[in-house]
Amino acid sequence: MKHLLLTTALLALASPALADPASTAREAQFDALISAPEQMQWLQTMSSAPNHVGSPHDKANADMQLALFKQWGWDAHIEQFDVLYPTPISTTLEMIAPTRVTLGGQEPAIPQDPTSANTAGALPPYVAFQGDGDVTAPLVYVNYGMPDDYEALEQRGISVKGKIAIARYGGGWRGLKPKLAQEHGAIGCLIYSDPANDSYAEADPYPRGGGRPEHGVQRGSVMDMTTFPGDPLTPGIGAVPGARRLTRANAPTILKIPVLPISYADAGKLIAGLHGPLVSGKERGGLGMAYHWGGTDAVRVHLAVKSDWSLKPIYNVIATMKGSTDPDHWIVRGNHRDGWVFGAADPLTGQVALMAEAKALGALAAQGWRPARTIIYASWDAEEPGLIGSTEWAEQHAAELKAKALIYINTDNNGRGFLQAEGSHELQRFVNSAARDVTDPQAGTPVLDRARAALLAGHYLVPGSVDAVDYDAAKAGGDLPLGALGSGSDYSAFLQHLGIASLHIGFGGEDQAAGSYHSIYDSYTHVIQFDDPGLAYAATLSKLVGRLVLRAADGPRIPAQYGDLARTVARYVTEVEKLDVDQREKDRALADIRREGYFALSKSPTDPLTVPRDRGITPLLDMLPLDNASDHLSRAASAADAMLAKGDALPPATRAKIDAMLGTIAQLLTDPRGLPGRPWFTNLVYAPGTLTGYGAKTLPGVREAIEQRRFDDARTYIDRTAAAIEAYAARLDAAVALAKAPA
């Protein structure tokens, strides 16, 4: 679902692993079983017809996968949930003034792309979980529709109240745009793909290149997933028959205003007529015209959406390979299967990687190998409308997963380029070690060498383009850091609701999939031409994730290096402390400027700005509990890592006890009370930002409370977050103590 192109987290060189010859041979065997041509066949078949939730082809793909998993020796079944999934009955968009023009509708076929003509049964451009309605009102340009943009509008005296907002894609998660528009009083919202973001500013429009063509539209979900993802009617529980359901009217994650996504061809016709102050600088998009903020009667729009709000069945395909010696420790690996139309890049590039792994693991098993721990492969349905398939499954099996799941490994759309990995930081070394052992298909070197090279060359070529933490790590030559997980794919329920250690792995940065993203042009043709020719990187992803699965399921111990987590948490603590100080400094600067009247003095007749609102002064917060907890974690992690490095010398019974203690330790970073205003999100280290959506907020209870000026919440969550970190450290202490105790 989330497009990988913009993810900056990358990996690299790890210290040599202590690989035993048998597992090295097994991995070589595994690699030999991965076939990119076979992945291409699956991709072509599975993307040959619309495969959105509820479509016949989505079900056919599930049935095909079920048969294949069984054929490959897995214990497989389809697990169904019945979830709210609105589909459009009618979508209407007209410009009423200055002239009457009908806009919107399905994207036109492109002759070079065979499936683009094959839209029978496809959904028209729409966004799921908008609120139906029929409104006519003046249009206001809101740039990305993020909080900064509403400040810019407010400074110019423009309100969206009673009007229709038009926001461009980018700058934050799709669903926040209509949510914030609604909160500011808008009665409707349009979201369009600006060419500055995914078309001619970045790539030649399709079919000359992979960029978004002028009539391409990005579909998507606008469910309020930052409150909770999954079926909006069954928060926290599986959407099974008999489950207690909310009504649509009282489901908090469904918007109340009508919303439609549109192309830049359509958006240009609307934007061209807007009046009001000029939009310049970073708030302007890339259409060849002046942008104005609008809000006057110069441009009036009629927007109407009517949906079928019935429950629909969704189908997760679940395949299990039982562990031989430790069956109650689970390694869970998933990728979604549903697309918005043909879904070739998103999600099927990742799905065919998963399938190749499952086939290869099945072949290894057929030759007599069995993993020590249990492996579960999942093909999720209904990720696109709101991570629904994975969330319902995780909620339904919450107790068992919390008891047994050691790790959840996710992939999604994948393309050529550089390794991009995000996840729980105790798994940083684990990922680096595997990435050292997988060869990049273009460069012929380990994928982590290429990731490191990209960081170092990128830093040289475009100073400031590479995150400082990543660059420093690449330069120092140690492991490359994992990025923190926000949201945008199926790991959310595992990591952020249940607290299970998770990874999200992919390749990208040299694809052009942003231009076909969630449109009818996300096709086999587009993928093979622009995103992953020959599916070389789908095969590479299989080899990398397959190694992670093999090592997690069959390695001598569960994979973790706690010092990496401790260092990362210490960095996050430093960041929130700096945030507090910097925000206080900025508040004081504003207070000074307001007091001295500098805004009035610098007011321009060409773009008169009002004085920014007084926000008060951010207090200095007592961060000592976090400092102490972070310090405790650092010391405990050092001791635990040292103990585990010598773990082979321990009696097997002790080792088993330690594994049991540490297998679910990641869950100690959760608090059952959850985050302020969104109790479903229990993880106090990793969360998607309420005002970023995709982007992670680390130590979110503290960080977002400071950013959003809820200082009492900040104080509460300094204590709760510190308590969670202390509990984690104490568990490490206990494991170290157990290792030292007489057997």
Q: Is residue 99 within the footprint of a second copy (CB under 8 A)?
A: no
Site for a second copy, residues 362 to 401, rule: CB under 8 A: none
Q: Is residue 147 within the footprint of a second copy (CB under 8 A)?
A: no
CB of 513 to a second copy, least distance (A): 12
Site map 422..451 versus a second copy, x via CB under 8 A? ------------------x-xx-x---xx-
- The pair phi, psi for residue 186, each rounded to 5°, is -65, 150
| Residue choice 453, 469, 579, 656 for contact with a second copy (CB under 8 A) | 453
- Which is nearer to a second copy, 462 or 649 (by Cβ)? 462
What percentage of the chain's residues is helix, strand, coil (to nearest 5)?
A: 40, 20, 40
Instruction: Give alpha helix (H) positions in 157-247.
Output: 176-183, 195-198
- Residue written as tokens 């909620």? 395
Site for a second copy, residues 50 to 69, rule: CB under 8 A: none
- Which is nearer to a second copy, 486 or 506 (by Cβ)? 506
CB of 590 to a second copy, least distance (A): 6
Residue 24 CB: number of other CB atoms within 10 A? Answer: 12
Instruction: Quote the CA–CA distance of 626 and 634 in Å, as a whole number.
Output: 12
Q: Is residue 290 within the footprint of a second copy (CB under 8 A)?
A: yes
Q: How many CA atoms lie within 13 Å of 132's alpha carbon, on the beta-carbon side?
A: 12
- Which is nearer to a second copy, 72 or 530 (by Cβ)? 530
Instruction: Quote the CA–CA distance of 414 and 381 in Å, as a whole number.
Output: 18
CB of 268 to a second copy, least distance (A): 8
Q: Is residue 733 within the footprint of a second copy (CB under 8 A)?
A: no
Q: Is residue 120 within the footprint of a second copy (CB under 8 A)?
A: no
Site map 188..217 versus a second copy, x via CB under 8 A? -------x----xxxxxx--xx-x------
Stretch that binds a second copy, among 134-142, 303-311, 595-603, 668-676 (CB under 8 A): 595-603
CB of 506 to a second copy, least distance (A): 17
- Which is nearer to a second copy, 85 or 141 (by Cβ)? 141
Q: Which string of b and e fits 504-518 if b means at least 16 CB within 10 Å?
A: bbbbbbbbbbbbbbb
CB of 319 to a second copy, least distance (A): 35
Structure tokens belonging to residue 520? 């009818």
- Residue written as tokens 């009036």? 300
CB of 450 to a second copy, least distance (A): 5
How do beta strands 417-423 and 373-380 pair? unpaired
- Which is nearer to a second copy, 285 or 674 (by Cβ)? 285
- The pair phi, psi for residue 248, each rounded to 5°, is -55, -40
Q: Is residue 294 within the footprint of a second copy (CB under 8 A)?
A: no
| Residue choice 61, 115, 512, 690 for contact with a second copy (CB under 8 A) | 512
CB of 281 to a second copy, least distance (A): 8
CB of 512 to a second copy, least distance (A): 7
CB of 609 to a second copy, least distance (A): 8
| Residue choice 328, 596, 622, 648 for contact with a second copy (CB under 8 A) | 596
- Which is nearer to a second copy, 143 or 568 (by Cβ)? 143
At residue 566, what is the residue type?
Answer: A
| Residue choice 15, 24, 280, 325 for contact with a second copy (CB under 8 A) | 280
| Residue choice 242, 288, 368, 464 for contact with a second copy (CB under 8 A) | 288
At residue 61, what is the residue type?
Answer: N
Among 665, 568, 716, 547, CA closest to 24: 547
Q: Is residue 171 within the footprint of a second copy (CB under 8 A)?
A: no
- Which is nearer to a second copy, 20 or 614 (by Cβ)? 614
Instruction: Give alpha helix (H) positions in 555-623.
Output: 562-596, 598-601
- Which is nearer to a second copy, 83 or 140 (by Cβ)? 140
- Which is nearer to a second copy, 60 or 591 (by Cβ)? 591
Do residues 296 and 276 make contact, with C-beta atoms less than 8 angstroms apart?
Answer: yes
Instruction: Quote the CA–CA distance of 204 and 219 in Å, as a whole number.
Output: 21
CB of 612 to a second copy, least distance (A): 8
Q: How many CA atoms lie within 13 Å of 311's alpha carbon, on the beta-carbon side?
A: 16
Query: Rg of the Cα trace of the chain?
Result: 26
List Cβ neighbours of 330 (8 Å cut-off, separation of 6 or more).
Answer: 373, 374, 375, 376, 401, 404, 405, 406
Q: Facing residues of 301 across strands? A: 95, 137
What would the DSSP string read from start to end of 614-654? Answer: P---PPPP--HHHHHHHHHHHHHHHHHHHHHHTGGGS-HHH
Stretch that binds a second copy, among 103-111, 237-245, 410-418, 668-676 (CB under 8 A): 410-418
Q: Facing residues of 291 across strands? A: 279
Instruction: Quote the CA–CA distance of 308 and 381 in Å, as a whole number.
Output: 19
- Residue written as tokens 């608090």? 671
Site for a second copy, residues 599 to 638, rule: CB under 8 A: 599-606, 609, 612
CB of 287 to a second copy, least distance (A): 6
List Cβ neighbours of 522 (8 Å cut-off, separation of 6 or more).
Answer: 339, 340, 341, 342, 343, 344, 345, 346, 513, 516
Do residues 572 and 646 make contact, with C-beta atoms less than 8 angstroms apart?
Answer: no
Q: Facing residues of 333 across strands? A: 377, 409
Bond before 619 cis per omega within 30 degrees? no
| Residue choice 460, 581, 585, 614 for contact with a second copy (CB under 8 A) | 460
At residue 75, what is the residue type?
Answer: D
- Which is nearer to a second copy, 618 or 634 (by Cβ)? 618
* SS3 of residue 316 by DSSP: strand
Residue 571 CB: number of other CB atoms within 10 A? Answer: 14
CB of 454 to a second copy, least distance (A): 4
- Which is nearer to a second copy, 408 or 418 (by Cβ)? 418
* SS3 of residue 464 by DSSP: coil
- Which is nearer to a second copy, 466 or 636 (by Cβ)? 466
Residue 26 CB: number of other CB atoms within 10 A? Answer: 17
Instruction: Quote the CA–CA distance of 405 and 424 in Å, as a whole number.
Output: 14
Site map 516..535 versus a second copy, x via CB under 8 A? --------------x--x--
Site map 240..279 versus a second copy, x via CB under 8 A? --------------------------------------x-
Run of H or E including 727: helix 711-740
Q: Is 136 exposed, middle or buried (0-12, 13-18, 19+ CB in 10 A)?
A: middle
Q: Is residue 593 within the footprint of a second copy (CB under 8 A)?
A: yes
Site for a second copy, residues 563 to 592, rule: CB under 8 A: 586, 589-590, 592
Q: Is residue 467 within the footprint of a second copy (CB under 8 A)?
A: no
Stretch that binds a second copy, among 331-339, 401-409, 456-464, 733-741 (CB under 8 A): 456-464
- Residue written as tokens 């697309």? 339
Q: Is residue 168 within the footprint of a second copy (CB under 8 A)?
A: no
Q: Is residue 452 within the footprint of a second copy (CB under 8 A)?
A: yes
- Which is nearer to a second copy, 7 or 234 (by Cβ)? 7
| Residue choice 162, 185, 476, 598 for contact with a second copy (CB under 8 A) | 598
- Which is nearer to a second copy, 243 or 278 (by Cβ)? 278
Instruction: Quote the CA–CA distance of 391 and 580 in Å, as a whole number.
Output: 34
Q: Compute how many residues bind a second copy; rule: CB under 8 A.
A: 62
User: In the complex, which residues of this chain contact a second copy (CB under 8 A)?
Assistant: 195, 200-205, 208-209, 211, 278, 280-281, 284, 286-291, 416-418, 440, 442-443, 445, 449-450, 452-454, 456-462, 509-510, 512, 530, 533, 586, 589-590, 592-593, 596-606, 609, 612
